[in-house]
Chains A and B, each alone.
Chain A
Amino acid sequence: MLRINGKEQDVAGQALADYLSSVGYNAARVVVEINEAIVPRDRYAGTILRDGDVVEIVCFMGGG
């Protein structure tokens, strides 16, 4: 289990990029931190979610 935006999720072992698309996020519009470290945008495919990770995903809305 890991914690994504405050909720327990059973997705350990999944690549971050696959998780993002499975829940409908557009990867170009998100910022992701895992255990308080920013995940560089070119590493979403190579980052594997692990048990105990604390993940924060911000999906930006347009307008300004």
Chain B
Amino acid sequence: MAPDRETLHAALVERHGAARQAKFDAAHVAVCGLGGLGSNIAVALARAGVGHLHLIDFDRVEPSNLNRQQYAAAQVGLAKAEALKANIAAINPYCEVTAEAVRITEENVAVLLSGDDIICEAFDRAEEKAMLVSSALAAYPDKPVVAASGMAGLESANRISTVRVSKRLYVCGDRTADVADGLGLYGARVLVCAAHQATMILRLIDGSEEP
């Protein structure tokens, strides 16, 4: 039996403080891509009590996702957006989740993300990452974008950091490791990068612009 809304909210306020939790409650975050980065980022934000999550991915859960993504084996074959919405509802039933199983393109970015305060790039392919970051920064003159580059392989987790590239663009990762070089993807190291992104998003919601 899940605790009621007031009980869960009081627990969040106890951990985070009332003023900061009020900012988390009101925040709208778009998570673009629900793989190793996005599914873990979304869960971290839901656990922190971020009030509104916009989860976007056209893909379905595959067996090869289970080493690093927040899905259960029994969810293989389901749309990631819907599966993650269900998993978040089990963790924090009072987080408002909008799940969309659509492909993000240069053409639909300007409409798709218009209701979100912060845009999180959590794609897998480098070309898709560049497309989303470039078109989101161009379409929305005020929204910060938190992206990821370089988390493949098993080099030290200490190489992963958060860099503020420009006024509104943050990039988390080691910025050099490419999955195309056959490095593989390991849940633990992808999680470090996802945690950097989630932390930066919480800092932005709280009003801190520095990494």
Contact = CB atoms under 8 A, between A and B. Distances in A.
Contacts of B176: 61
A63 B178 contact: yes
A62 B62 CA distance: 19
Nearest to B174: A61
Contacts of A32: 134
Interface in A5-64: 26, 28-33, 36, 38, 40-41, 56, 58-64
B169 A63 contact: no
B138 A58 contact: no
Interface string B167-185: 1010101011111100101
Interface residues of B, number: 41
A64 B38 CA distance: 8
Interface string B133-161: 11101100000000111111000000000
Interface string B34-62: 01111000000000000000000000000
A46 B48 CA distance: 45
Nearest to B173: A61
Contacts of A56: 165-166
B125 A62 contact: yes
A63 B124 contact: yes
Interface of A: 26, 28-33, 36, 38, 40-41, 56, 58-64
